[in-house]
Amino acid sequence: MFGNKFKPGGGIFVKICGITNEADARVAIEAGASALGFNLVQESTRYIDIDSAADWIDRLPRKACRVAIMANPSWEKAQRISKLSFIDALQLHGNESPKFCQQLRDAGVCFAKAIPVANPGSLTDLPDFSTDTVILDSASGDRFGGMGKAFPWELAREFAHRNPSLKVILAGGLNPENVIAAIKQARPFGVDVTTGVEASPGRKDTQLVKAFVTAVRQTSSRAS
C-alpha cells in the first residue's frame, strides 16, 4: 500500500533494500531510488536497531519512501514502528496471517506483503492480505532474504496478469546486468534489490547502486 504514493512520474518503482547506514542511504536517494528498506529482522545480516538509527534516518531527504522490513512482528511492535515519524510504511516478510494484515489496514497502517516464490504453486490460491502491494521474492528456506537468487520471472508476470488490481514488486537476485531483462519479462510495478548492489552484506557499492537505478529508469523511458 505504498505504491500509489511513491511511484514517481509513472516510472518503475525502485527500492534499495538492506540499508544499514546514512552514507549508503544518501547514495541510493541521489541515484534516484523511490524507496529505501531498513531491515528490522534480527536474524538478518543486514539488521539495524531502528531506535539507534533513528537520528540518521530522520535526517534523510523525504523524497524517498522509508520502509521498515519486519517478519512476524507482534501487533504492538508493528503499531509502534508504523507510528515512527521517519518510517513511511512496513514490509511484512514473515507468515503474517490475513487477519493480522486486515487489522493493520483497518488501523490505517501503510504496508506491503512479501510472498516467497519457489515454484508456480507458491502463487496459487493466495489469501487476501488486505494490501494492494506485494513483493514477490525468491524463497530462501529458513534464512531471511538477501540470497541473491532469482526465481523464474515469468511466474511474476503470470501472477500480475491474474491479479491486475495488485502492484507487483519483483525481488530476488536482481542486479544491474539482469534488471532490464527482468522488467521486460515480468512487467512489474517495481523492483527491489539488496545483494545485487552490495560490496559486502550490509554495505552498498556506489557504482552498482547508480548502475541499477539508471538501468531501471532507462527501461521506463523506453516503455513510455
Show which residues are catalytic: 17, 137
Radius of gyration of the chain (CA): 16
Q: Is residue 191 helix, strand or coil?
A: strand
Alpha helices per DSSP H over 112-172 = 153-162
**DSSP letter assigned to residue 47:** B
What are phi and psi for residue 129, nearest 5 degrees? -95, 15
In angstroms, the CA 96 to CA 104 distance is 11
Cell 512482528 locates to 73
Cell 518503475 locates to 12
